[in-house]
């Protein structure tokens, strides 16, 4: 008798190995995706700071809270999208700008406090409400 084929044990072993490899692949990919989403939020904060610095060059007398919607409306900022919910982060996001001038100096420096508020994220620098 010619027995061609695989035994049940061989098939179950193969399926178990494939299952383990699949689990490891999914765990690795999800870790990578989470890391890239966190990096996206950090990049949004850097983008907000750069947009505010450009805004300040044109509006030197502006200090206080500058809304991200103002930066977007005036062309300094594109839309910032939450990578998890794919909604805009613009409506509740702002930058607090404080001017400080050293004594006996004509140079004014600015401090930027970024508050990025997305559906699934809020900056650590946002004031507690």
Distances (CA, A) of 5 to 2, 8, 9, 13, 30: 10, 10, 12, 15, 37
Reported as type and span, the H/E element at residue 115 is strand 108-115
pLDDT value at residue 104? 62
- pLDDT at position 49 over 60: yes
- pLDDT at position 9 over 90: yes
For the chain, the structural domain boundaries read: 9-122
* Residue 52 tokens, joined: 């505010």
pTM: 0.72
Give the pLDDT confidence of 84-95 residue by residue, as tens digits.
889 999 999 999
């Amino acid at each position: 008798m010619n027995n061609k084929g695989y035994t049940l044990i061989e098939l179950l072993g193969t399926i178990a190995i494939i299952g383990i490899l699949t689990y490891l692949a999914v765990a690795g990919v999800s870790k990578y995706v989470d890391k890239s989403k966190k990096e996206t939020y950090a990049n949004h904060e850097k983008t907000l700071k750069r947009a505010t610095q450009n805004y300040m060059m044109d509006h030197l007398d502006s200090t206080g809270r500058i809304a991200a919607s103002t930066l977007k409306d005036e062309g300094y900022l594109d839309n910032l999208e939450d990578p998890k919910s794919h909604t805009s982060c613009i409506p509740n996001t702002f930058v607090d700008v404080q001017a400080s001038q050293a004594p006996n100096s004509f140079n004014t420096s600015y401090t930027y406090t970024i508050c990025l508020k997305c559906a699934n994220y809020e900056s650590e620098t946002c004031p507690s409400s």
